[in-house]
A and B are shown apart, each in its own frame.
Chain A
Amino acid sequence: MQLQQNYQAFLENNAQVVALAVASASAVGGVRQAIGAAYPMLADPDHKVAEAYGVYNLLNDGLAAPSVFVIDTNGDILWSYIGSNPGDRPGIAQILEHLP
């Protein structure tokens, strides 16, 4: 998805990108350093958040399925994309066009 390379486009739309993963804080921190992410990255090691969003273990791997949720200021999920395999992700343009 190249989130970091397109992060500014989200900010220009007044939207904040937040990434999280079912992993330890150290593992997520390592990825953050590797990709130079300027957006917040969160660790969800006990997968509570992934479960709440219905994306935990969908691929039977004990992880969150690659997925994106666009949430408006009322807390409504305007759009979501749930990947059916590790490489199944929406494009940046596809996400941007669903911003409120």
Chain B
Amino acid sequence: MNGRSTFRFLALLIVGILALSGVGLLMMFLNQAATATPTPVPQPSPGPPREQIVATVNGRAISHTLWVESVLLDQVMSGMAGQPAPTPEETLQRLINEALILEAFTSVRSPSPAEIEAHIAAMERSWGVEDSAVVKALQEVGLSRAALERSVGRLLRVQAAIEALRAQGYDEGTWLKGRLAEARVVINTELQQATVFPTPTTLAVAPTPTVLPSPTASPPVVSSPTPAGLAASLPTTAPDFTLERVDGGWFTLTQQLASGPVVLVFFQRCG
């Protein structure tokens, strides 16, 4: 990435974060342009067709599912706001930008459901639409309202991270530029190019069912110190489960989460 494009995308990121403080400007963030150039990586030998990772940022995966969901969400929200939707590539770059910030500020708290709802309600007021209309538009592209809630929650965490950065006395532009220079970003360009989205204009005028190719249509192009992990289809939301404790009783994840965060550790071997 050259210096000019780097500076541009950093500036746009900051503009997007600032926009979050005024909910009516949220779409500016979602519509921001980005010009990062994917880093070509060597083609590994084709493995089992099970990957759904579209990019990694310092070894951390951005799942194909998250990217697809974000692109469709951007299209719906842009349509609501009457603004041009970002391209899928720009949306991916936004996810990369967010990952860089959140990676450095993992201590920022997650917004409460009430805070997320307040922001969604404010957006809907600025768009002049009812919540039911948003839900319908989301459903027409195969998304649930939960996808919108997750996205807003993530953006609010990014906003909190930026505020934490400022509280430490950093200039965010300089800080982010330095982070980017050191970041190891790998984009699965083959999977990216194999994914077809509906055009935003079609979506805004006459919503059509979304037809996406199977994420397993092409072999992965990934590079990481943990290749096995990156070959996985990693969830972004923890699947709930109930299992019997070996010391007696039962463990249900959602019940435990009511008391605080959970560190889930998979042992490879027992015995």
Are B261's CB and A100's CB within 8 A? yes
Given A58-B231, A88-B226, verify A15-B260 contact (CB < 8 Å): yes
Are A74's CB and B246's CB within 8 A? no
| CB-based A-B contact count at 8 angstroms | 207
Interface string of B245-271 (1 = CB under 8 A from A): 111000101101111111111111111
**Chain B residues whose C-beta falls within 8 Å of the C-beta of A16 in the assembled complex:** 256, 259-263
**Chain A residues whose C-beta falls within 8 Å of the C-beta of B241 in the assembled complex:** 48-49, 52
Interface residues on A, range: 35 or more
Contact of A82 among B106, B228, B244 (CB under 8 A): B228
Are B271's CB and A42's CB within 8 A? no
- How long is the Cα–Cα vector from A52 to B241 in the complex, in angstroms? 9
Query: Is B46 among interface residues, defined by CB-CB distance under 8 A?
Result: no
Query: Is B88 among interface residues, defined by CB-CB distance under 8 A?
Result: no
Given A31-B271, A100-B110, verify A73-B257 contact (CB < 8 Å): yes
Say how far B222's CB is from chain A's closest CB, in angstroms: 12
Interface string of A1-39 (1 = CB under 8 A from B): 101000000100111111111010101111110000000
Given A42-B251, A78-B106, A98-B106, verify A71-B225 contact (CB < 8 Å): no
Given A55-B232, A77-B238, A100-B106, verify A20-B268 contact (CB < 8 Å): no
Query: Is B240 among interface residues, defined by CB-CB distance under 8 A?
Result: yes
Interface residues on B, range: 35 or more
Are B261's CB and A99's CB within 8 A? yes
Of all chain A residues, which has the CB nearest B271? A27
Are B239's CB and A49's CB within 8 A? yes
**Chain B residues whose C-beta falls within 8 Å of the C-beta of A66 in the assembled complex:** 266-268
Contact of B229 among A19, A72, A83 (CB under 8 A): A83
**Chain A residues whose C-beta falls within 8 Å of the C-beta of B18 in the assembled complex:** none
**Chain B residues whose C-beta falls within 8 Å of the C-beta of A67 in the assembled complex:** 229, 265-266
Are B246's CB and A70's CB within 8 A? no
**Chain B residues whose C-beta falls within 8 Å of the C-beta of A3 in the assembled complex:** 265
Given A40-B247, A70-B261, A75-B238, verify A84-B229 contact (CB < 8 Å): yes
Given A41-B245, A76-B237, verify A20-B263 contact (CB < 8 Å): no
- How long is the Cα–Cα vector from A81 to B106 in the complex, in angstroms? 15
Query: Is B126 among interface residues, defined by CB-CB distance under 8 A?
Result: no
Please name the 5 residue pairs, one residue from A and one from B, whose CB atoms are nearest each other, closest first.
A82-B229, A54-B232, A27-B271, A52-B239, A23-B270
A–B pairs, 24, beta carbons within 8 Å: A16-B256, A18-B262, A20-B243, A20-B265, A25-B246, A29-B247, A42-B246, A42-B251, A53-B238, A59-B268, A63-B268, A63-B269, A64-B266, A65-B232, A66-B267, A72-B257, A74-B113, A75-B257, A79-B60, A82-B228, A84-B229, A85-B228, A86-B268, A99-B263
Partner-A contacts on B (CB < 8 A): 60-61, 106-110, 113, 150, 153, 225-241, 243-247, 251, 253-254, 256-271
